[in-house]
Amino acid sequence: MVKAVNPKVVEIIKTKSLVPSFDPSMKTLMCIVKFMTENVSEGKTQLALDTKLNYARLAKHLVWMEKKGLVKSTIIDNKIHVSLTENGMDFAKVISKII
């Protein structure tokens, strides 16, 4: 059975817009960055499964990261793949010292 994605989540992904009051969770950012530095780029759905994050939470954090220039999204075979940018790799190095 395929679970329907919340329309609000779809809107966040399509428009890449967040509410101005959105504050990312450092724990969630660390989880995403740690996984992305240790594994190849995969689709957002697979990334949510691998990091054990709720898809909506992951989507919000990835949009925030993309707005900050830490990740970039590319469409490959109808999947949205996410990868770290150079700034994202630098951010990962800083965060890895904290973990």
DSSP codes, 4-55: PPPHHHHHHHHH----TT----HHHHHHHHHHHHHS---BHHHHHHHHT--H
Which pLDDT tens digit goes with each residue over 5-35? 566 666 666 666 676 778 888 899 999 999 9
**Structural domains for the chain:** 23-98 (1.10.10.10)
pLDDT reported for residue 80: 83
Which pLDDT tens digit goes with each residue over 35-88? 999 988 778 888 999 999 998 899 999 999 999 999 998 888 888 889 999 999
pLDDT at 2 over 60: no
Nearest to 62 by CA among 35, 95, 39: 35
